[in-house]
Structure 1
């Protein structure tokens, strides 16, 4: 339901105070109201109260208050840009200088239209930036860009923006041969085998962007390439005075030391300047061999697993080496170091966000029946050791509509450990191959193993009791908390019911200012800041009438955005809705199922310095949208 948001009209009220031995002075005139939709004008001073009787003067009327800034009307959503047909909006990243990067993931390969600015077509994965605009100094009266017209192939197959000009920085396969003699052999997004050095996949799926500055107008742009195996590129760039960017160096980050990565999805840059890339897709977090394919079942090898086998040949992939947050350390060197943080848990990571204390990390699980996780490091800026938690939600009593229903949060402690110890457990599965597969059993951890850990058993169950042959009968340890984190959290009592828990984001400076009271942003002090959460689908385990989350299916696959309150210890205490997609129309098909002027399956979210949020769609629309939402409109 569309709601028209009006500016609060500030009015000046002059209070008449009692005169000594006389009647009250007359009320001062009201200050003028600030107009809606733009910066309100200051209210004028109230006029002096008239003299009281018996000769004493009435006191002056109080000054009229300043009119409050108007906000965008309607739903508070502004369409910043639309992306070409077939593509989703990924990789939202806003720098401290106000540069907004985002990608065009898997556009239609049949797109043929050439845009006038880049002189290129959008038929493959594209990394770019909205040049010529500072999103840290963006006015509030931006007018939405137009929905691409159905009769205009040019509008449907290119980027249409409300501000700035979308500049292409690189596309799948680009070799950047103009930079030097070698360029980027094989091209951007291309992944090679560790042993064979042969091309395994040419990736069409750019996702996360993270910018690490090297100067005021230069730095390194890291981009995830989401596939099996996954990858990450690094472009060294500089910005000219007219706002356009130039690429000076290009490389693919070497993940061979960690035996590759899987489906590098969204991510973030840590407060100490290191990209955090997320591994998604690869985890079967149900841990149930009766209903799900086993990783090493010889007759059930997916094309994705085959890609991994080619990548690692002659090794057989160990699934417990994938499904983590990986940190790119020393990001500006010729050979950045990559560390997988097993401590943050193994599940379908969308992304992680580090709080300003440089210890607390929140991570979202993009799955059906997912969990919101928290990790607290033992030491600041060192994620190799710490404690993992899962969120337990309590839904607001008497409510179930997604637009108004919130959840209180408790945190369930799972376990504490180190990367080094967890890797010793992971290594025990390195030699498992298809030859070890037994029908009806698992070569890896089972639900029975997790349950025995939850129940505090002294030893793991035997194979006959449903246990894994690797751990059968051995002394109990905490490996299940880190290798099968979703099941461990669920059986410990955390809420494992999110459906498509997507990008999570904070504005570091706003949170720091709200918690510490420091004037970080050099503006009005922020007294409250939030972590924002994108949800692509509000259905399935969120709407099945069971468990902790029992929402109605009115919004369903249109999705929405939540925010989480942050206390003084950087602890999330409550989640509540911010903006939801329109009513899901199940009687219709295609783009009509979700209103084109409302959210449709939000994916990435980014918080701007002024508190507005940017939302990238992965939805039903013919042309997905990059939205800007103003919470002040609510």
Structure 2
């Protein structure tokens, strides 16, 4: 009934929602709203209109100090609102929006020279936090930009346009006030798998995922990105004023899977389990014909593998996957690495509402967008892996307008159990096995033979690996050297810094099934959003499937991918790009402070707006709010 009623007013609703930003932009251009106090504030949002030109219109009316939003008379770009900035040296990580509207985000690797103290805290180490006092699921449409930091104090703290940033924990915190529920070793502290000795205090908190156990209580999981990797779990509760208290702290035990490497971003599955991504650089560069040499005794620091301190010499094929934290709210959560989703530099994975289809991004030069379809819902232990083949719009190459159609190339079907038997065959390789000019691991000749459909692996004389030489062919290549396998099967291996991918579960489910899940709106089309930190290198080299111009380059941008009724991605289009990259300038000036600068991760709100975190050139990276309807 609701859908039929809304169909009669859909256009009016769309116009009204669009007017919150788009029409305000038009008013800002007229300069009339500057004299109207609060509406002038909305005009400031609209000044987000035409890529900075509207900053001059802000001066026309001054918008009741809204011109100060840009501080130098400039405002943010079209549709962009500066929600917050983070301290010197830091990037914005860990974006996570709960069903109750709590927005978590982290201050990753801030400058250790930061010395300004706020509420007893200095932002000179990795920080996990949340914006309190605001429900991001019911956010006003006319939020005014937070100012670009100017003073020493402003550049060393979290400044926000709405809400107050509450620090939940920082690197090394032991939560001594919690007694036995504290963390003796310290938050973000990692230990050797065998030695149990402290290896690193990690200033790199990344992904956050909140698992609610009641309306105002739950567990916050946070990735700590280093070698070896780590994940913390904070049990927390929220009072009636919206302030959080930590009641229990722990670091997740990854010993059962021989540790993790560089836990980067992640997601929470529709069935409530955190999915943590290993972004360990697995030396799968797409432009190389050189075989892996991880066990070279002269260079065992390749990719930082020695820091894992596994038994004897670490098996590289045990790292570079998506790990699922099962039973996440129990005393001892279980960890399962899903070899099925492939081995590469994972930024994060997102599970579609069908609870079977998983999309994964590869954060590297020459990366691939992967898809995995599980055999059974809520069970990622077996299924089929695919790579995306892109077709660029004919006659276009500017990043702001150029899209891509998608076809999916099937790679292989497998199970965790079967793939693990292949992984285990490389467990006992050590530096003693290294032979100069050869590899102890899967060789490029092996990958090529698999892609060519050969019946057997090549012999060692033909360039094959000693583990598989001359043996019957299997599909280990697809899961252990996924990028190379996808490339040789025809998938597009040309993304550069393919970062966070995100959906709003309910918006996608309503668009596909027609269920009434989103209030006051008919959602008949939904998207997966994709952050790209750099549009350079393999994306602008004039070769292959992606041949964009270099205008945007390192300023990056955000794309969206259309989702069909089978949860299949069919097309990728640009949503919002950073400013024109100015290679003649240095530092932060290369990308306009009022535009995107190397977006990292993205989340989608219930109302369709997106929140974007930067990892860019700016002295103070930004947490942006963007309304696609403003485009």
TM-score with structure 1 setting the length: 0.88
The answer on whether the counterparts of 1:274 and 1:327 sit within 8 Å (CA) in structure 2 is: yes
Unaligned runs of 5+ in 2: 1-9, 25-41, 50-77
Deviations 1:343-390 (A, max 9, x none): 000000000000000000000000100000000000000000000000
Query: Which of 311, 329, 332 lines up with 2:326 in the alignment?
Result: 329
CA drift of 1:284 comes to 0.8
For 1:563-602, what aligned pairs fall within 5 Å after superposition? 563-602=560-599
The answer on whether the counterparts of 1:406 and 1:576 sit within 8 Å (CA) in structure 2 is: yes
Deviations 1:517-539 (A, max 9, x none): 10012332211110000000000
For 1:594-613, what aligned pairs fall within 5 Å after superposition? 594-613=591-610
For 1:377-456, what aligned pairs fall within 5 Å after superposition? 377-456=374-453
State the partner residue of 1:178.
177
Is 1:629 aligned with 2:612? Answer: no
CA drift of 1:541 comes to 0.3
Query: Which of 109, 114, 117 lines up with 2:117 in the alignment?
Result: 114
The answer on whether the counterparts of 1:200 and 1:307 sit within 8 Å (CA) in structure 2 is: no
CA drift of 1:289 comes to 7.8
Question: Whose radius of gyration is greater, 1 or 2?
Answer: 1
Distance 1:447 1:288, change over 3 A: farther
The answer on whether the counterparts of 2:286 and 2:483 sit within 8 Å (CA) in structure 1 is: no
CA drift of 1:286 comes to 2.7
Distance 1:193 1:580, change over 3 A: same
Deviations 1:97-120 (A, max 9, x none): 0000000000001110112xx321
For 1:261-276, what aligned pairs fall within 5 Å after superposition? 261-276=260-275
Query: Which of 601, 612, 616 lines up with 2:613 in the alignment?
Result: 616
For 1:225-374, what aligned pairs fall within 5 Å after superposition? 225-286=224-285, 291=290, 294-302=293-301, 305=304, 307-309=306-308, 311-312=309-310, 314-374=311-371
Deviations 1:468-522 (A, max 9, x none): 1110000000000000000000000000000000000000000001101100123
Task: State the secondary structure of the residue aligned to 1:579.
Answer: strand
State the partner residue of 1:5.
none
Hey, what's the Cα distance between the residues in 1 that align with 2:168 and 2:520? 33
Query: Which of 81, 84, 90 lines up with 2:84 in the alignment?
Result: 81
Deviations 1:224-245 (A, max 9, x none): 0000000000000011111110
Distance 1:537 1:436, change over 3 A: same
Hey, what's the Cα distance between the residues in 2 that align with 1:307 and 1:33? 57
CA drift of 1:34 comes to 11
Query: Which of 537, 542, 546 lines up with 1:545 in the alignment?
Result: 542
Distance 1:143 1:617, change over 3 A: same
Hey, what's the Cα distance between the residues in 2 that align with 1:367 and 1:33? 40
Query: Which of 440, 461, 465 lines up with 1:468 in the alignment?
Result: 465
CA drift of 1:197 comes to 1.6
How big is the alpha-carbon RMSD for the aligned residues of Structure 1 and Structure 2? Answer: 2.1
The answer on whether the counterparts of 2:21 and 2:79 sit within 8 Å (CA) in structure 1 is: no
Unaligned runs of 5+ in 1: 1-9, 13-31, 42-68
Hey, what's the Cα distance between the residues in 2 that align with 1:610 and 1:382? 30
State the partner residue of 1:143.
144
Hey, what's the Cα distance between the residues in 2 that align with 1:334 and 1:454? 45
Hey, what's the Cα distance between the residues in 1 that align with 2:278 and 2:161? 33
Task: State the secondary structure of the residue aligned to 1:136.
Answer: helix
- Higher relative helix content: 2
The answer on whether the counterparts of 1:33 and 1:40 sit within 8 Å (CA) in structure 2 is: no
CA drift of 1:582 comes to 0.1
Distance 1:84 1:35, change over 3 A: closer
Deviations 1:152-194 (A, max 9, x none): 1110000000000000000000000101246201100111122
The answer on whether the counterparts of 1:142 and 1:162 sit within 8 Å (CA) in structure 2 is: yes
State the partner residue of 1:105.
108
The answer on whether the counterparts of 2:411 and 2:486 sit within 8 Å (CA) in structure 1 is: yes
State the partner residue of 1:16.
none
CA drift of 1:39 comes to 11
226-235 or 517-526: bigger deviation: 517-526
Task: State the secondary structure of the residue aligned to 1:490.
Answer: helix
Task: State the secondary structure of the residue aligned to 2:317.
Answer: helix
Hey, what's the Cα distance between the residues in 1 that align with 2:254 and 2:18? 55
For 1:125-164, what aligned pairs fall within 5 Å after superposition? 125-149=126-150, 152-164=151-163
The answer on whether the counterparts of 2:261 and 2:320 sit within 8 Å (CA) in structure 1 is: yes
Hey, what's the Cα distance between the residues in 1 that align with 2:11 and 2:461? 76
The answer on whether the counterparts of 1:228 and 1:304 sit within 8 Å (CA) in structure 2 is: no
Hey, what's the Cα distance between the residues in 2 that align with 1:625 and 1:486? 32
Deviations 1:37-60 (A, max 9, x none): 47999xxxxxxxxxxxxxxxxxxx
Distance 1:459 1:135, change over 3 A: same
